[in-house]
Amino acid sequence: MNGLGGLNRTPGGVVIGLVQLALPTIETPADIARQTARIVELVGKAKRGMSTLDLVVFPEYALHGLSMDTRDAILCDADGPETRAFAQACRDNGVWGCFSIMERNPHGNPYNVGLIYDDTGARRLYYRKLHPWVPVEPWEPGDLGIPVIDGPHGSRLALIICHDGMFPEMAREAAYKGAEIMLRTAGYTAPIREAWRFTNQANAFCNLMVTANVCMCGSDGTFDSMGEAMVVNFDGTVIAHGTTGRADEIITAEVRPDLVRAARAHWGVENNIYQLGHRGFSAVRGGAGDCPYTYMHDLVAGRYRLPWEDEVRVTDGTSCGLPAPTRPYAPAFKNAAE
């Protein structure tokens, strides 16, 4: 059930629009300004085309394209002319919006940032991508954890970005903190198509959580992004899917956070996120609440190391033309997950 793409929104439902935005070529500040105006235009188009729309989602790299360019001239600030234009577009159209910027970082490489504004233009979520797509992406690893916010119509909403979604721990963390809807924005290209599909479904099913996912679309003459907008229900079924690869197409669906809450409360079999911390509750009262996973203990203790660690050959970005880093990781802020 998706309410005919959101045309028929039920009480408590949330209508999401995923914009398979045409992949731009960005080289100058003027290009950034033009692309900002294009995104603002599409916010209005989305709301006019679907009056029930609650949240419009733009892909990762919607503003900057896939050049991985770190020149200061085309970077953005979290409170800059581009983000102010996005906030104003949400306010003018009475819709929530999710946007992507590459943000200046005075202490290191730029951050890959996702922003969500509500229908009054207030910023409600700021997220720094935790897992850049190494070795290709030069972005600083995020240091703020995964925020979860109150979204439209009482929903609980989280955002992760692209490669983040390949780590099941990311979706689990979002759900553990209460997310009922998890957005995943991306710039992925066609070789990742199958992995994109099954991880979007697994992230939903394993956590009894709706996932709403969208990539850039089309070609900039070098890269070809795939679109592949997907809305996946909490049971892992796909309820909307952009399969045509048509740039600027907006894929819409109604999702039901109330049914997510009901499943989490009433499912016995396959209530996996609950059962992770209550192993074998049919045998022992309340289930086992220990942590039997070596990798979790080692990661927390700072000694994460694979049995084949010494055999790994790609451990920096030099294969993609990036200089080998020399400084160690030093988060600017205390991790929000702590």
DSSP3 helix / strand / coil % (the chain, rounded to 5): 30, 25, 45
Residue 249: enclosing H or E segment and its boundaries?
strand 249-255
Q: b vs e for 286-313, b when ≥16 Cβ sit within 10 Å of the residue's Cβ?
A: ebeeeeeeeeeeeeeeeeeeeeeeeeee
Quote the pTM value: 0.96
Taking only the tens of pLDDT, the chain with its 338 residues reads 577 888 988 998 999 999 999 999 999 999 999 999 999 999 999 999 999 999 999 999 999 999 899 999 999 999 999 999 999 999 999 999 999 999 999 999 999 999 999 999 999 999 999 999 999 999 999 999 999 999 999 999 999 999 999 999 999 999 999 999 999 999 999 899 999 999 999 999 999 999 999 999 999 999 899 999 999 999 999 999 998 889 999 999 999 999 999 999 999 999 999 999 999 999 999 999 999 999 999 999 999 999 999 999 999 999 999 999 999 998 876 554 44
Whose CA is closest to 42, among 30, 24, 68? 24
Distance in angstroms (rounded) separating the CA atoms of residues 20 and 84: 22
- Measure the CA dihedral 66/248/7/126, to 10°: 30
Per-residue pLDDT of 211-262, as tens digits, reads 999 999 999 999 899 999 999 999 999 999 998 889 999 999 999 999 999 9
Handedness of CA 90, 96, 7, 24 (dihedral sign): positive
> What type of residue sits at position 273?
I
Give the residue extent of every domain in the chain.
Answer: 3-270
Catalytic residue, candidates 76, 82, 98, 129: 129
Question: Is 129 among the catalytic positions?
Answer: yes
Q: How far is CA 262 from the centre of its chain?
A: 24
Question: Is 177 among the catalytic positions?
Answer: no
Catalytic residue, candidates 76, 162, 215, 217: 162
Catalytic residue, candidates 47, 60, 90, 217: 60
For the segment(s) 3-270, the CATH number from 3.60.110.10, 3.40.50.620, 3.40.50.360, 2.40.50.1070 is 3.60.110.10
Residue 132: CB atoms within 10 A of its CB come to 23
Whose CA is closest to 219, among 229, 209, 227, 207? 227
Question: Is 162 among the catalytic positions?
Answer: yes
pLDDT at position 5: 87
